[in-house]
Chains A and B, each alone.
Chain A
């Protein structure tokens, strides 16, 4: 059916166009805002900015590695680049982006007027923002002003004892630690807020088992934040104690252990990657049904699988440590727990296929990104399974194969998912449609660039190329592959530029969207685009998982079957 009329009459609150007021006043409004939608947009934009900065750092690294024995950057700068790239991307690009999406959509999707704690929400954003500023201040601060730049160069997991005062002189490591510590507080605040919002702020009739998939996935993400950020915070406090108060937590000279840092970091680090990927799974679970014109296949099982992923992911951390010489029993245990995650993840993939199966699929840009993400999750997951076989990891660990594995997930699933979300919810956020033509250009260029870069990146790993090396000998036979990998980045950068252009242009010129351009089913599409200050004029009553379907199909509503 193609009836695109708003079902619940949209609230007509005359919204002043931002431009008509003095800039300072607009800026002031944004800075002091506690509105979840504005904070969502701020989180998202902050994340995109970091993505571009991190992407530029990556591009410099790729330029350096494109040919053997290259001298574009010094080893010192290269080490700072990958540290800053990894840290920026994980903590200041990916996390703010998924937080932004969660912030914007959670209240809208569950029929609430705002998050549970709006002011805490703003606090969380600003903590994250300040964390990033502190990290980047390292380029100019401290020794940076009167000496070499002092950006941290210890890698994004900052293994001890490289971070100890003996090996990391100056304050570069402290910028890393304090920046992440502060943004960690912000993340905990956001996790707490999402959790409480979901538990306490649902609108009338929105039972837990009627919540949209994205909300479910975000709640599991919030749970993981609450249990997993703590270990990082604790480890960083210990590191600060070591560095500033002369403690010995990670001081191997005084009997301290380097391995315990690894444990602490990865107890955080592994759940962290699921914190990032679950929201992406949520996006796929919203976009695929709408453009297949079918409800999500196996809702209950999808929810159960999500919860299973959440719990299992707390017990697999040492698969990042297969090479540190654990006993054969410990290694075997972590092989088992890690491979076990394949089962619930597989269920998700199969259910997405089940959703498309028998549908009538429209390939909008949003859908293209989502479908590609499903296929790429399959491949990335399977390379994960290869890494999870401990002996295989003894060969693959810390090689470019690992780099390829996780960029495959992070780009191929998370970034693709985020782009999908960007096209899908853009009309809701701005009230205008994004250009589909430019969207298709964006998609195909990014797809080509992504595969050129990250498919071929597996090969040097298999040929013995370790990560974090600023150059390599020509005789090793890695050069051809690295050149291809580097060329792919050009396509990716072009695609991202097209997207930014598309988003900007559509904001002024795009077709007016109306409240429900995709003929979708979840509550956010029942209010106007962009939603008014308090989201809903009248809180909608929900009787099934697809409240808008019920309204559009009074003859055959979902609640009869659930």
Chain B
């Protein structure tokens, strides 16, 4: 048939199939955002509505150090991606490790904060509305960081065994998108929990 041999005008070609990882990740981010949105709304709605203490102002300290670590990890992962793009796997591994380390520090600090809240301030998830919404929102985020850290570890191991090559740069950057998303969510959580309602 004539039609099937015709040259295809450039504009008719859909998004490249190579982009499907990124598009898929955007879809996932959309879905995840709507989950977080509901938790944030619940947090804001219940702010100040607890009928017993403690209140956020009494027990929450702003986690400057942890936040700086997490935000910095967004930078290091970008550097890692760049390195891989240029084919420098060593440098990639280094920055990838740094990202993981920063993520783990963040998780560790969160853990320490929770320990303090539970054992010294007596705030658990069932203490009052503040406890419920606080642990849920921060915990949901920490869960995402944990998933990210597991992903980072896996890829780090692959790198150490020499399985990560330049041609994987595209897929690695899809993972990078997830990490950036987790970071961006922290901006929201941080401002809602520690600045707006404290």
Contact = CB atoms under 8 A, between A and B. Distances in A.
A246 B4 CA distance: 64
A230 B38 contact: yes
B42 A248 contact: no
A202 interface: yes
Given A249-B132, A254-B128, A551-B1, A196 B24 contact: yes
Contact of A200 (B2, B15, B50): B15
Interface string A210-221: 000000000000
B39 A234 contact: yes
A328 to B, nearest CB: 21
B27 A195 contact: yes
B30 A200 contact: no
A248 B45 CA distance: 13
A225 to B, nearest CB: 8
B58 to A, nearest CB: 17
Contact of A204 (B8, B20, B35, B51): B8
Given A196-B23, A541-B4, A543-B3, A246 B125 contact: yes
B57 to A, nearest CB: 18
Contacts of A247: 125-126, 132, 136
A207 B14 CA distance: 7
A25 to B, nearest CB: 32
A464 B82 CA distance: 68
A548 to B, nearest CB: 10
A52 B35 CA distance: 32
B34 A541 contact: no
Nearest to A263: B41
B129 A199 contact: no
Contacts of B3: 540-541, 543, 547, 550-551
A248 B42 CA distance: 11
A229 B16 CA distance: 28
B196 interface: no
Given A230-B31, A551-B3, A200 B8 contact: no
A359 B136 CA distance: 59
Contacts of A227: 30-31, 34
B6 A248 contact: no
A256 interface: yes
A386 to B, nearest CB: 31
Contacts of B19: 199-200
Interface string A125-158: 0000000000000000000000000000000000
B133 interface: yes
A201 interface: yes
Given A248-B128, A538-B4, A228 B34 contact: yes
Interface string B1-29: 11110101001111111011001100110
A205 B3 CA distance: 11
A257 B45 contact: yes
Contacts of A222: 27
A257 B136 CA distance: 16
Given A230-B31, A241-B132, A260 B45 contact: yes
Contacts of B2: 554
A249 B28 CA distance: 26
Contact of B50 (A205, A206, A255): A255
Taking each of B3, B6, B11, which has the highest tally of chain A beta carbons within 10 Å of its own beta carbon? Answer: B3
B27 A196 contact: yes
B33 interface: yes
Nearest to B18: A200
B168 interface: no
A457 interface: no
Nearest to A542: B12
A538 B1 CA distance: 12
A241 B125 contact: yes
A51 interface: no
A230 B12 contact: no
B118 interface: no
B70 to A, nearest CB: 22
A8 B16 CA distance: 25
B14 A202 contact: yes
A255 B51 contact: yes
A225 B28 CA distance: 11
B49 interface: yes
A228 B34 CA distance: 7
Contact of B23 (A191, A200, A238): A200
A117 interface: yes
Interface string B62-77: 0000000000000000
Contacts of B128: 248, 254-255
Contacts of A193: 24
B46 to A, nearest CB: 8
B143 to A, nearest CB: 10
A199 B38 contact: no
Contacts of B121: none
Interface in A340-388: none
Given A116-B24, A543-B3, A260 B42 contact: yes
A233 B34 CA distance: 9
A7 to B, nearest CB: 7
B76 to A, nearest CB: 28
A129 to B, nearest CB: 20
Interface in A523-562: 538, 540-543, 547, 550-551, 554
A192 B12 CA distance: 23
B12 A191 contact: no
B14 A201 contact: yes
A394 to B, nearest CB: 25
A245 interface: yes
Given A202-B14, A541-B6, 20 more contacts: A7-B1, A8-B1, A117-B20, A192-B27, A196-B27, A200-B16, A204-B8, A227-B31, A230-B32, A230-B38, A233-B35, A238-B136, A241-B125, A247-B125, A247-B136, A249-B42, A254-B129, A256-B46, A540-B4, A550-B3
17 contacts: A116-B23, A188-B28, A206-B14, A207-B11, A208-B14, A225-B31, A230-B34, A231-B35, A234-B37, A249-B132, A255-B46, A255-B128, A255-B129, A264-B42, A267-B38, A543-B6, A550-B3
Q: Which 3 A/B pairs are nearest by Cβ-Cβ distance?
A: A230-B34, A246-B126, A234-B38
